């Protein structure tokens, strides 16, 4: 399946899409995504079977839009998020902040 950029509507295969994820925020449970085509930055939450898009608000992340991605799985680690789909997997590291 192809996953669209919500800004420019380019569509990406899973490998290209999840390779563009960076900086897993464990507290808010979201990853940053930068569109390889238009450079738009989105925050999204990887959920079992779907992606959740939304906005950080008052210390939490509210999901407003969901995109179904059948077979999508995730595993939360201490300093990274592991994403898997079919037989592929991606690791999104947490950017270590000096001041927490
Ligand atoms: Zn885009």
* Tens digit of each residue's pLDDT (9 = 90 or more) over 21-79: 999 999 999 999 999 999 999 999 999 999 999 988 888 999 999 999 999 999 999 89
Residue 100 lies in a domain: no
**Number of domains composing the chain:** 1
Q: From the CA of 5, how far away is ligand 1's center (Å)?
A: 5
The span from the CA of 89 to the CA of 74, in Å, is: 9
Domain region containing 85:
3-93
The span from the CA of 88 to the CA of 85, in Å, is: 6
pLDDT recorded at residue 10: 97
Q: From the CA of 44, how far away is ligand 1's center (Å)?
A: 14
What single-letter DSSP state applies at residue 87? T
pLDDT recorded at residue 99: 57
Residue 37 lies in a domain: yes
Q: From the CA of 16, how far away is ligand 1's center (Å)?
A: 12
pLDDT recorded at residue 88: 97
Residue 41 lies in a domain: yes
With beta carbons less than 8 A apart as the criterion, state whether 64 and 53 touch.
yes
pLDDT recorded at residue 98: 61
Residue list, CB under 5 A from ion ligand 1: 5, 7-8, 35, 37-38, 40
Residue 99 lies in a domain: no
As a whole number, mean pLDDT of residues 85-94 equals 96
């Amino acid at each position: 399946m192809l996953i669209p950029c919500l800004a420019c509507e380019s569509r990406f295969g899973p490998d290209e899409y999840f390779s563009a994820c960076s900086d897993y925020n464990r507290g808010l449970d979201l990853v940053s995504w930068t569109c390889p085509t238009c450079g738009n930055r989105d925050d999204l939450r990887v959920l079992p079977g779907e992606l959740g898009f939304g906005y950080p608000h008052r210390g939490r992340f509210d999901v407003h839009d969901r995109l179904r991605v059948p077979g999508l799985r995730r595993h939360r680690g201490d300093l990274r998020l592991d994403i898997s789909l079919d037989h592929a997997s991606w690791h999104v590291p947490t950017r270590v902040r000096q001041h927490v």
